[in-house]
Amino acid sequence: MFVRVFDKENNLYYKSVVYGVIDSGYYEKYIVINPHTNNFELINYFDENSNVQIEKIQTQRIDWVEYNDSHLLIFKKKCKIANKDLQLTSFVGYKEVFDNFDFLSSILEHRKVAVQDSGIEIKCLTDINEWNYIRNQEDVDNLMKNMVGFHDALMTSLVVEQDFTSTKVNAVFDNSGWYGIVELCFEGVLGVKLCPAKENYSNEIYGATLKLENEIILWADNNVESEEDCQQCSYIKSLNLKWRKID
């Protein structure tokens, strides 16, 4: 699982692989890595005002285990031996996280554990070798440079996929005159609009916009400053963007 996290204390956003989800419903808490502090942190899904602090980008639970009820007796027994009064009603995540009592009990007690002291293996995104992820402004600039600002590119397909909790859009652009054919995958989609060319006009793109701000991606087939400027153009807004050259 991959999410966008709001760091309320420092008023900023970051993205992280999820290492475990503790409890459920309104009391759900996520174990993530804050890259700004280099700590594992335990983040409530809702803050005290019921505002969401976790937004899901990828929902797959590859290699995860699920423990509840009788499966938690081992943890409760270890808590009793260690004289710790800790509450845990369910756990979904990596087995090594649940099995590491020192780490799990510490993050429940203190809400954060330094990565170097955790004893937990850092996880990579499962498709990191198949896609180029847009993580920072340098990645944005490189994609725009490769695609020559999407000049003369044609969006040949736009596919929307949804499950119960997330939306993904895959867009293929033919920019053969400059770079080639490229697939862009927008994950955690927040908005999408297709605005075809009018009669007697071409669907080829003259120039496009790609912005990354507060860990949110905005792509548009025109030069814009924000989503509010996209009334007359196609745009996609999402929590994440990855891309690959397919021809």
**pTM above threshold 0.85:** yes
What is the residue-averaged pLDDT of the chain?
A: 94
Where does the pLDDT of residue 165 fall: very low under 50, low under 70, confident under 90, or very high at 90 and above?
A: confident
pLDDT at res. 94: 98
pLDDT at res. 236: 98
Q: What are phi and psi of 78, to 5 degrees?
A: -65, -35
C-alpha dihedral (185, 94, 105, 44), degrees to nearest 10? 30
Where does the pLDDT of residue 164 fall: very low under 50, low under 70, confident under 90, or very high at 90 and above?
A: confident
Q: Are strands 64-68 and 154-162 parallel, antiparallel or unpaired?
A: unpaired
pLDDT digits (tens, 9 = 90+) for 213-235: 999 999 999 989 888 888 889 99
pLDDT digits (tens, 9 = 90+) for 180-208: 999 999 999 999 999 988 887 888 899 99
pLDDT digits (tens, 9 = 90+) for 12-51: 999 999 999 999 999 999 999 999 999 999 999 999 888 9
Q: What percent of the chain has pLDDT over 70?
A: 100
pLDDT at res. 208: 95
Closest to 89 measured CA to CA, from 4, 15, 178, 21: 21
pLDDT at res. 71: 84
